Structure 1
Amino acid sequence: MTFETFRALPFFSTFPEAILRHLYDLMEKKEYPEGFTVTREGDKGDSFFVVVSGELEVRKVINRETGEYKTLARIGEKEIFGEMAVFDQTPRSADVVSLTDVTLWRITVPYLKGLLQSDPAKGADFLMAMITLLISRLRSTSKTATVLAEAGQIVSKSPDLPTLTRALFELIVREIEGSDAAVFALYNWFNNEFNVVESTENESARTFPAVFDPSDPFVFRLTKSAEPILISGGLGYTGTISSLGTEGIFAEASSLLAAPFWYGSNLFGFIVLANFLQKGAFTREHLVLLQGICNMVAPAMETFRYRSDEDARNRLLKAKGFAV
């Protein structure tokens, strides 16, 4: 990373050039392969990182032996993480794992403290920028918690699957801004297809089919990966999803945000938010929020499916003259 690139990073864009040059001189280049744990929960917080290239995931480990964890955030190019170490050097609160090969710049706290002590005025500018960043992240976390709580209320109050999907779709489209078209599809086990149950078609004037074929390139990768997808700059994927030349029904989209509904080994459907006019319409915060909603709602879909199958079985038995 050149100094000019470093200075252009959003977090550092307002810093005086003198302090930026000091920070740039303190940086240590680090390269890690896909799947590498860059920081582990409980480790000493003695540095923070700038992402030069690649993508990482912040994880709260639930059971390290079984590999169970909850995704808290995604971190991409030009973003920073581990910045709390600047303030308290307490143990890391979560794991940060690379989703791709990554290149990072690492700045250790002891070196940074030396800089702050040598020039208190510049140090104050740096700390104020750090505080502004933390406040922004806290606001994002607060919104995520509020939306997830509302999704939980929808789950608890919905008497059936149509009511659930309708209210959930309205919540997602309202809270994840940036789409000019959206679609919610549920998997039909009998016909092996995805039936569209909710959709919006706004400025883009795009119309979606009533049914999605599982072999559609985008649908196939979305439902087979069991991972959400964020496309922020036209065709191609971030994270561990491979880039291919065609994306089926969504080929013309400039931005896409999508997630499947999985519970155990069962796939229940997916939701896609698209913007056909604007690149970068969705963020990693949107990605984490959508994934959190899908993870919360999928068990309820399993319950409704079981009820539906049970009702169908009882109707069949009744039609054949059996007591139910």
Structure 2
Amino acid sequence: MDKLEFLKSIPALKNFSKDFISKLVQIAEEGHAKGGEIIFKESDPSEYLYIIFQGEVIITKKIAPETEKVLSILKEKDIFGEMSLFTDKPRTATAKAKNDLTYYKFHSDSFRKLFSLDPNGTQKMLESLLLSSLERLEQTSRELATVYEISKIIVKNLPLNEFCEQVLKQLCYSIPEVNEGLFFVWNEFTEDYESNKISIPKNHKIIEFLSDKKETTLLDETEILSAKSYIITPLVKEKLIGFILLANTEKKVVFSQGTKDLLNSVALQLIGAIENIKNQQEKFNRERLDRTRSRTITW
């Protein structure tokens, strides 16, 4: 697909005249990046708007000196850096290539100068960008609400089984596309991944499937839960310490990138929480054993 046809296929640009798109082609700069390469960093000047031609882009924000939070993952035909059209304030997030990436970038000043050529198309584009921003804001609000509710579950200091049940209940409420789920946690004594309903061995094919996964992904099928659609979130800290399998048992559904982002954020919470619950349980067991030994009389 040539540059002109590609730009005409972008939903936010579809209402522009042919003359406008032709002028846009003239100011488009093609760029390439390898996986992991930074496109722009948080606090960089806002000078360009970007459109993905091929590949994916990860948008992240630093929330601690050594910690970044993934805000979204963008794909072909998605626009990012669009706030440069409205403000010259520094970037509020970092954009980096997830894999081999080809993109077009447009200097904001040059882009704005074209607006007068097609006021109607400009209005439609701005409405589209506003709608996209509102959708991202809605997703962020849903994610924050879910993270908050799971934080409330974490501070209850529940036994592991009850903790997993409450987390599943919250996720099924927060994600309308799912109505069933299983939460598996690695048991180092039995060497199985255990849920409240079933256990599976470490050589099970679903564990093999997750062996190279670090983020939420889709699953075609599995015999451990009968359903129409599946989404699975690995919990990884050096190795796989557990995973969450969510499903819709009634119909085929399409899980959005927003749902994947939400589950990835929750996974970061759960890894630390599970370790803490296990440590507390081990401490309790040691103390109980010590008390038992102290009451034992040696003859």
Quick check: TM above 0.5?
Answer: yes
Query: What do the CA deviations read for 1:48-106 (whole angstroms, capped 9, x no partner)?
Result: 11222222211223566xx5322222122232211111100221111111121111122
Structure whose CA Rg is larger: 2
Q: Aligned in 2, Cα 1:103/1:90: closer, same or farther, shift over 3 Å? A: same
Counterpart residue number, 1:259: 233
Q: Quick check: 1:302 aligned with 2:275?
A: yes
Q: Aligned in 2, Cα 1:63/1:141: closer, same or farther, shift over 3 Å? A: closer
Matches within 5 A, 1:1-324: 1-2=1-2, 3-13=4-14, 15-18=15-18, 19-62=20-63, 68-179=67-178, 181-197=180-196, 210-222=198-210, 225=213, 227-231=214-218, 256-262=230-236, 265=238, 267-274=240-247, 278=252, 281-320=254-293, 322=295
Instruction: List alignment gaps of at least 5 residues for structure 1.
Output: 199-209, 236-246
C-alpha displacement of 1:142: 1.6
C-alpha displacement of 1:113: 1.1
C-alpha displacement of 1:115: 0.4
Report the RMSD for the aligned CA atoms in angstroms: 3.0
Taking the aligned partners of 1:145 and 1:73, their CA distance within structure 2 comes to 14
Query: What do the CA deviations read for 1:249-294 (whole angstroms, capped 9, x no partner)?
Result: 58x98854322234x5475411022458636x11221111111112
Taking the aligned partners of 2:270 and 2:109, their CA distance within structure 1 comes to 45
Three-state SS of the structure 2 residue aligned to 1:177 is: coil
C-alpha displacement of 1:181: 4.8
Matched AA of 1:178: E
Q: Aligned in 2, Cα 1:40/1:147: closer, same or farther, shift over 3 Å? A: same
Matched AA of 2:261: V
Counterpart residue number, 1:206: none
Give the paired residue count.
293
Matched AA of 1:153: K
Counterpart residue number, 1:201: none
Instruction: List alignment gaps of at least 5 residues for structure 2.
Output: none
> How many percent identity over aligned positions?
22
Q: Aligned in 2, Cα 1:223/1:43: closer, same or farther, shift over 3 Å? A: same
C-alpha displacement of 1:109: 0.7
Counterpart residue number, 1:238: none
Matched AA of 1:214: K
Aligned residues of 1:184 and 1:196 also touching (Cα < 8 A): yes
Q: Aligned in 2, Cα 1:308/1:146: closer, same or farther, shift over 3 Å? A: same
